[in-house]
Amino acid sequence: MKTILAKLKSFCPLVLFIYGGLTGQMHSGEPLHTISPSHSLQAGSASLETNNQLNANKMSLDFQFVRETILDSQILHYFQENSRGTIIMCHSGGNNADFWITNIEAIAFVNDAVNASYSIVLLESLNRDTKLWDQTQPPEANQDIQRARLLLADLKQRGLLDEEKPIFALGDSKGGRFSSMLAFDANFDASAIYLTRGLQGVIDESTIPTIWCLAENDTRSDNTVAIAQMQSMQARNIETNLLILFASPVEPWRLARIPNIVGTQGVAIYQALKNGGFLDSNDFLLANPLESGWQSVIPQELIGLKDDIEIQLSICFSEHFFFRDFNDRVLTFFNKYAPISAIEDGPTLPSSFKLDQNYPNPFNPETKISFTLSRRSQVELQVFDIKGKVVATILNNELDAGQQEILFNGSALSSGIYFYRLKAGNRIITRKMSLLK
DSSP secondary structure string, 197-214? Answer: PPPHHHHTT--S-EEEEE
Percent of the chain's residues with pLDDT above 70: 83
pLDDT value of residue 10: 43
Question: 316, 343, 363 — which closes off a domain?
Answer: 316
| Residue 368 pLDDT exceeds 70 | yes
Does 279 lie in the same domain as 234? Answer: no
| Residue 53 pLDDT exceeds 60 | no
| Residue 341 pLDDT exceeds 90 | no
Q: What is the DSSP letter of 103?
A: S
Q: Is residue 94 part of a domain?
A: yes
| Residue 373 pLDDT exceeds 90 | no
Closest CA to 166 of 392, 339, 387: 339
pLDDT value of residue 155: 93
pLDDT value of residue 266: 86
Q: Is residue 182 part of a domain?
A: yes
Q: Is residue 11 part of a domain?
A: yes
Does 233 lie in the same domain as 94? Answer: yes
Q: Is residue 344 part of a domain?
A: no
| Residue 207 pLDDT exceeds 60 | yes
Pairing of strands 118-123, 73-78: antiparallel
Q: To 5 degrees, how large is the angle CA 314–CA 293–CA 281?
A: 70
Do the Cβ atoms of 157 and 26 come closer than 8 Å? no
Question: 210, 226, 247 — which closes off a domain?
Answer: 247
Q: What is the CATH number of the domain that holds 180?
A: 3.40.50.1820
pLDDT value of residue 189: 96
pLDDT value of residue 339: 74
Domain ranges, residue 24: 2-247
End-to-end CA distance of the chain: 39
Longest Cα–Cα distance in the chain? 76
| Residue 22 pLDDT exceeds 80 | no
Q: Is residue 28 part of a domain?
A: yes
DSSP tally for the chain: helices H, then strands E = 12, 18
Tell me how far apart the alpha carbons of residues 116 and 308 are, in angstroms, rounded to a whole number. 26
- Reported as a single tens digit per residue, the pLDDT across 62-107 is 688 999 987 777 899 999 988 999 999 999 999 999 999 999 899 9
Q: pLDDT-based confidence at 350, cuts 50/70/90?
A: low
Does 200 lie in the same domain as 74? Answer: yes
Question: 316, 332, 366 — which closes off a domain?
Answer: 316
CA 93 vs CA 13, 176, 321: distances in Å: 33, 9, 12
pLDDT value of residue 59: 57
Does 256 lie in the same domain as 200? Answer: no
Does 382 lie in the same domain as 412? Answer: yes
**Buried b / exposed e across 308-319, counting CB within 10 Å, b at 16+?**
bbbbbbbbbbbb
Average pLDDT of the chain is: 83
- Written as one string, the DSSP assignment of 161-175 is S-TTS-EEEEEETHH
H helix runs in 16-74, sequence order: 51-54
Q: What is the mean pLDDT of residues 98-125?
A: 93
Does 89 lie in the same domain as 58? Answer: yes
CA 242 vs CA 8, 137, 174, 227, 354: distances in Å: 10, 25, 18, 8, 22
| Residue 226 pLDDT exceeds 90 | yes
Q: What is the DSSP letter of 341?
A: G
Range in 4-8, 116-120, 268-272 the model is least confident about = 4-8
Does 182 lie in the same domain as 41? Answer: yes
* 3-state secondary structure (DSSP) of residue 288: coil
Range in 153-162, 195-204, 257-266, 428-437 the model is least confident about = 257-266
If one compares 3 and 425, the residue with the highest pLDDT of the two is 425
Q: pLDDT-based confidence at 261, cuts 50/70/90?
A: confident
If one compares 62 and 140, the residue with the highest pLDDT of the two is 140
| Residue 277 pLDDT exceeds 50 | yes
| Residue 128 pLDDT exceeds 60 | yes
pLDDT value of residue 31: 30
Q: Is residue 334 part of a domain?
A: no
Does 219 lie in the same domain as 192? Answer: yes
Does 208 lie in the same domain as 101? Answer: yes
Q: Is residue 347 part of a domain?
A: no
Q: What is the mean pLDDT of residues 154-181?
A: 94
pLDDT value of residue 426: 65
Does 225 lie in the same domain as 84? Answer: yes
Closest CA to 94 of 127, 60, 62, 132: 132
Does 169 lie in the same domain as 41? Answer: yes
Q: What is the mean pLDDT of residues 108-126?
A: 93
Number of structural domains in the chain: 3
Q: What is the mean pLDDT of residues 376-401?
A: 88
**Buried b / exposed e across 364-373, counting CB within 10 Å, b at 16+?**
eeebebebbb
CA 419 vs CA 180, 314, 349, 430: distances in Å: 40, 22, 28, 7
Q: pLDDT-based confidence at 311, cuts 50/70/90?
A: very high
pLDDT value of residue 340: 64
Percent helix, strand and coil across the chain, each rounded to 5?
Answer: 30, 25, 45
Work out the burial of residue 358: count CB atoms within 10 Å of its CB; fewer than 13 is exposed, 13-18 middle, 19 or more buried. Answer: buried
Please name the amino acid found at residue 389. K
pLDDT value of residue 374: 80
State whether the Cα torsion 393-353-307-252 is positive or negative: negative
Tell me how far apart the alpha carbons of residues 70 and 68 are, in angstroms, rounded to a whole number. 6
Q: Is residue 145 part of a domain?
A: yes
pLDDT value of residue 403: 87
| Residue 411 pLDDT exceeds 80 | yes
Q: pLDDT-based confidence at 351, cuts 50/70/90?
A: low
Does 77 lie in the same domain as 178? Answer: yes
